[in-house]
Amino acid sequence: MTNLLCFTSTFFATNVIVGLYLGYNVYALLFFILMCTSLINHSTYHPTIHLIDRMAIISVGIYGAYMMYQKQMWDLYFSNALIVFSFIFCVVMYEYGAHTQQFCFDPNPFVSLFYHACMHLFGSVSHHFIMLG
């Protein structure tokens, strides 16, 4: 089961590659750190690593918002809608799910893994839209 989340954590490697290709070196570095912390977190489930992983997630999110602001992407309605939907999806699946024991925290491990893997995919794709927008 853990192997699925380790596999989907490697989606972030595509963000590293695209970030480097487009010259967004800080973004690429943040995604590299996120990929590493996510891989370690999903293979060890150590509380300290989990905290470091959350800090990496927050850093990528804040930098993504900064990039959207800097690029002034406000006229790209489809991209913005996808990015906002992905952000809301990830917050609801994780934070709301933690409080209600649903989605990423569902008692059924297949359900929780599915939603967590989807979070990795949605997060990666939405940040591609930010970089390419």
Convert the pLDDT of each residue in 40-81 to its tens digit: 999 999 999 999 999 999 999 999 999 988 888 777 788 888
Cα–Cα distance for residue pair 130/102, rounded to 1 Å: 29
Show the tokens assigned to 78: 């489809």
Say what the pTM is. Answer: 0.94
Q: Please write the tens of the pLDDT for every residue from 76-109.
A: 788 888 999 999 999 999 999 999 999 999 999 9
Predicted confidence (pLDDT) per residue in 4-51, tens digit: 999 999 999 999 999 999 999 999 999 999 999 999 999 999 999 999
Calpha distance 70→58 (Å, rounded): 18
DSSP code for 108: S
